[in-house]
């Protein structure tokens, strides 16, 4: 009896069997293929909308990173994916292979007549991945067909595609839920895919509710000689990365996931965590290798940028806080040996160590940050350091935060060490909000600001207008300084954030609370952040603006006019 005949008869071919009492998976291999589905599964994230150009850009970065497979989307499912595959034919990928994704043929439609399978072949990729049902619940309720008919869909679709393309992967959708409901049938689905000629069988935790122990237990019961298994996990239980790693321990030689864990609902397994753990902790190898790992952080932030979302600071390996140290005891130990509080060297994944300064800081934090600024000749016993530390702790107690405002921190360091010139002297400011009625009866808001400074020994008094109080204040301050420091016009306000801190010093809450203003700035050379805190939002904004102007002049090496 041939493989096809044995499959159609419903009999299990020799070699396809369950071992419920002992592990049947082959010994884990060292090489693991990385299959990225950011462009397909990742694009299903809420509020994520990739353009065709975005998808092409990400594909190029993934190729540079060195992933094995890039799943581009579902050709024919929507105009965007159709356009992507048309343009992707001109992509010059050096490390990765592009995969088209789709489903098995429809019930009661021959493979050669099925529109989905035709669309997959028309994409002209060397890799095709199709999914099929492996949970009887889905077979009966979602598809409305018999268990045998579903096996036929899987077998026929893969055999048809395999005869016409190089590589075919089969995603066994809901495999672990299916196995828990009916292990014999879940295995029959895998056998049908194997007999159809699939190059790898991908076990999917589609609902994301399986735990690592269950993954291991189920995979140890599978015995399919000469079959390559893969894993595809969703993160609904918060363990997609752990499940993926467990699957590799149990023999999986392909891991599917997305950059930054993008994906429907709670997302997919985050490859920025999976890959470093595989290569650095589990001794596996991958195409990207150790030389590709340093690109990981850059790719992570690039994808976030195209998603128009802020990177997760506490994201393992690639987050800005992944190697950030705040506690004084921690920093003291880090300065002696980074291994004391870092599980890997951050440079291995393209990240960097950050020492934060706060009310929890010790002298070691301050000394580290000073040396990071390039001031290397400071005596650790210099009493000015303790005075600076006391000032920082007092400011943080009042609500200042220097994590995202390192320009404000550097100014205080330079001033404490006598290295900050006085570029101007403040004498006061006033801001007036106003509302005017246009001729057509509509209302328009505006603001007028007045500032008094001393620049070059001369009093400067300027008045200016803006769309709001902060805009007016910043505009008039630039006008007051540009006549002596023309480079001040090169700086631009990029981002403005306000946070209510709670009760004020007088005990008032609500609108009388202390507020913290964080402002991000940019010029042609650098980006920097400043902070101001006050019970008055305009006063807090004024402090942050004055720090920004002073920092700009200092970094430019401006000649003091005072």
Q: What's the pLDDT tens digit per position in 345-400?
A: 999 999 988 777 655 556 667 777 787 778 767 777 788 888 888 888 788 788 88
Structure tokens at 249: 């321990």
Helix (H, G, I), strand (E, B) or coil at 23: coil
Enumerate residues 6+ apart whose C-beta is below 8 A from 143.
Answer: 107, 133, 150
Tell me the three-class secondary structure of 430-486, residue by residue.
EEEEEEEECCCCCEEEEEEEEEEEEECCEEEEEEEEECCHHHHHHHHHHHHHHCCCH
Which pLDDT score, from 0 to 100, does residue 367 have? 76
For the chain, how far is it from start to end, CA to CA, in angstroms? 97
Q: Nearest to residue 409, comparing CAs of 389, 379, 384?
A: 389
Mean pLDDT of 499-505: 70
Q: Does the reported pTM lie above 0.75?
A: no
**CA 7 – CA 14 distance, rounded (Å):** 11
**Cα–Cα distances in angstroms (integers) from residue 51 to residues 55, 84, 86, 93, 409, in the given order:** 6, 9, 14, 20, 40
Burial group, residue 181, by CB count within 10 angstroms (0-12, 13-18, 19+): middle
Q: Nearest to residue 101, comparing CAs of 53, 31, 197, 35?
A: 35
Residue 17, beta-bridge partner list? 223
Q: What number of CA atoms fall less than 13 Å from residue 188's CA on the CB side? A: 21
Q: Nearest to residue 475, comparing CAs of 518, 431, 434?
A: 431
CATH class of 46-307: alpha beta
Which pLDDT score, from 0 to 100, does residue 439 have? 77
**Average pLDDT of the chain to the nearest whole number:** 88
- DSSP states along 256-314: EEBGGG--STT-B-BHHHHHHIIIIIS--B-TTHHHHGGGHHHHHHHHHHHHT----TT
pLDDT tens profile 220-276: 999 898 899 999 999 999 999 999 999 999 999 999 999 999 999 999 999 999 999
What CATH topology corresponds to 425-555?
A: Double Stranded RNA Binding Domain (3.30.160)
Q: Where in the chain is the domain with CATH 3.20.20.70?
A: 46-307
**CA 67 – CA 96 distance, rounded (Å):** 6
**CA 463 – CA 269 distance, rounded (Å):** 56
- Residue 14, pLDDT above cutoff 50: no
Mean pLDDT of 452-466: 90
Q: 208 or 503, which is more confident?
A: 208
Mean pLDDT of 493-521: 77
Length of the chain counted residue by residue:
562
Q: Where in the chain is the domain with CATH 3.30.160.270?
A: 425-555
Which pLDDT score, from 0 to 100, does residue 337 have? 85
Structure tokens at 366: 């301050």
Which pLDDT score, from 0 to 100, does residue 219 have? 97
Of the candidate ranges 65-69, 187-191, 419-423, the one whose mean pLDDT is the lowest: 419-423
Instruction: Work out the pLDDT band at 24, boundaries 50, 70, 90.
Output: very low
- Helices then strands, counting H and E runs in the chain, come out as 19, 18
Long-range contacts of 24-27 (CB under 8 A, 24+ apart): 24/220, 24/221, 24/222, 24/223, 24/224, 25/219, 25/220, 25/222, 25/223, 25/229, 25/250, 25/251, 26/225, 26/251, 27/251
pLDDT tens profile 420-448: 999 999 999 999 988 777 778 788 888 99
Q: How many whole angstroms from its chain centre is CA 559?
A: 42
* Cβ–Cβ under 8 Å, residues 3 and 195: yes
pLDDT tens profile 299-340: 999 999 899 888 899 999 999 899 988 766 777 787 788 889
**CA 501 – CA 95 distance, rounded (Å):** 50
User: 33 φ, ψ to 5°?
Assistant: -85, 135
């Amino acid at each position: 009896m041939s493989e096809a005949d044995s499959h159609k008869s419903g009999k299990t071919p020799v070699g396809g069997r369950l071992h419920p009492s002992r592990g049947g998976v082959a010994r884990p291999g060292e090489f693991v293929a990385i299959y990225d589905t950011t462009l397909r599964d990742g694009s299903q994230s809420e509020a994520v909308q990739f353009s065709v150009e975005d998808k092409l850009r990400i594909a190029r970065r993934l190729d540079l990173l060195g992933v094995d497979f890039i799943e581009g989307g579902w050709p024919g499912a929507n105009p965007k994916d159709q356009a992507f595959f048309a343009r992707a034919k001109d992509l010059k990928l050096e490390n990765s292979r592009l995969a088209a994704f789709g489903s098995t043929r429809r019930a009661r439609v021959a493979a050669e007549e099925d529109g989905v399978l035709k669309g997959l072949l028309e994409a002209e990729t060397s890799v095709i991945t199709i999914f099929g049902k492996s949970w009887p619940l889905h077979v009966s309720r979602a598809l409305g067909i018999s268990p045998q008919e579903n096996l036929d869909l899987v077998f026929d679709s893969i055999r048809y595609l395999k005869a016409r393309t190089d590589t075919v992967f089969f995603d066994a959708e809901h495999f672990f839920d299916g196995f828990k409901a009916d292990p014999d049938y879940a295995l029959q689905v895998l056998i049908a895919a194997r007999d159809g000629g699939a190059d790898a069988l991908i076990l999917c935790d589609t609902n994301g509710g399986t735990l690592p122990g269950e993954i291991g237990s189920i995979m140890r019961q599978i015995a399919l000689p000469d079959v390559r298994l893969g894993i595809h996990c969703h993160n609904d239980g918060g363990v997609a990365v752990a499940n993926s790693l467990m699957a590799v321990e149990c023999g999986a030689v392909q891991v599917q996931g997305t950059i930054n864990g993008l994906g429907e609902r709670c997302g997919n397994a985050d490859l920025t965590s999976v890959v470093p753990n595989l290569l650095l902790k589990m001794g596996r190898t991958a195409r990207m290798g150790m030389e590709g790992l340093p690109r990981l952080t850059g790719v992570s932030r690039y994808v976030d940028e195209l998603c128009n979302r802020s990177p997760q600071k506490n994201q393992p390996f690639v987050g800005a806080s992944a190697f950030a140290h705040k506690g004084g005891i921690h920093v003291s130990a880090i300065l002696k040996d980074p291994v004391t509080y870092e599980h890997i060297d951050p440079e291995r994944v393209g990240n960097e160590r950050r020492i934060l300064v706060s009310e929890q800081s010790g002298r070691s934090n301050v000394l580290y940050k000073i040396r990071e600024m390039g001031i290397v000749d400071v005596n650790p016993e210099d009493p000015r350091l303790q005075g600076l530390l006391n000032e920082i702790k007092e400011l943080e107690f009042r609500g200042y935060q220097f994590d995202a405002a390192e320009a404000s921190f550097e100014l205080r360091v330079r001033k404490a060490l006598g290295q900050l010139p006085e570029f101007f002297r403040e004498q006061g400011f006033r801001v007036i909000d106003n509302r005017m009625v246009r001729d057509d009866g509509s209302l328009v808001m505006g603001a007028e600001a007045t500032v008094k400074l001393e620049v070059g020994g001369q009093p400067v008094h300027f008045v200016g207008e803006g769309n709001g109080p902060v805009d007016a204040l910043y505009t008039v301050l630039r006008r007051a300084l540009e006549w002596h420091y023309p480079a001040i016009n090169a700086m631009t306000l990029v981002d403005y954030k306000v946070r209510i801190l709670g009760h004020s010093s007088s005990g008032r809450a609500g609108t009388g609370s202390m507020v913290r203003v964080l402002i991000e700035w940019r010029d042609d050379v650098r980006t920097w952040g400043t902070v101001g805190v006050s019970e008055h939002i305009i006063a807090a904004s004024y402090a942050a603006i004055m720090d920004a102007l002073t920092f700009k002049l200092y970094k430019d090496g401006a000649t003091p006019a005072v």
